[in-house]
Amino acid sequence: MLKLIKALYLAERMALVEWHRPITGDEFWSLENGPVMSRIYDLLREKVSGPEMEAWRTVFNPRKLDAISLKSEFHEKPLSRREKDALHRGYSMVKDLTVGQVIDLVHKLPEWENPGKSSRLIDPRTILYHENLGESAVKEIEQEIAALHSAKASMQAG
């Protein structure tokens, strides 16, 4: 489970840095074992109910202890080619590592701050600044992401 949440985080981070837009739009949080995406983390821990959890269960088998697996009939059609590529790249970064090595890897990310037994929100701006994008580029990216969120909310409401 830890490898999955970190691979997903790394893929989401890559998307933000490379394309200037995330795959899921989930919030980033620093936890003791490294950064996570909050909604995905809650889904993994089965702390969500309703349509989101139902959609999650169409892709993933129920969690068994700390293991989670894809359903064999999983379809990648809703994902773009570059989203699939980012997810594969995120997974390839962690697949051959031990859990301890994965934690060491994500602890080296500049946006991660050790919150101890608590948690701390990671502002996406922090990631973008650490990737040497200037203030004007960061503001433009934020505006694009806000427009995407607004469009998505309008589509869901209508």
pLDDT at 32: 96
Identify the CA nearest to 125 among candidates 107, 141, 147: 141
Own/partner pairs, 42-47, CB within 8 angstroms, 24+ separation = 44/1, 44/4, 44/5, 44/68
CB 91 within 8 A of CB 14: no
Residue pair 113/17 in contact by the 8 Å Cβ criterion:
no
pLDDT at 154: 66
pLDDT of residue 56: 86
Q: Tell me, what's the pLDDT at 132?
A: 80
Per-residue pLDDT of the chain (158 residues; tens, 9 = 90+): 899 999 999 999 999 999 888 888 899 999 999 999 999 999 988 899 899 899 888 888 888 888 888 887 666 677 889 999 999 999 999 999 999 999 999 999 999 999 999 999 999 889 988 888 888 888 888 888 777 766 666 665 65
Given this model, what pLDDT does residue 34 score? Answer: 97
Say what the pLDDT of residue 95 is. Answer: 96
Prediction pTM value: 0.85
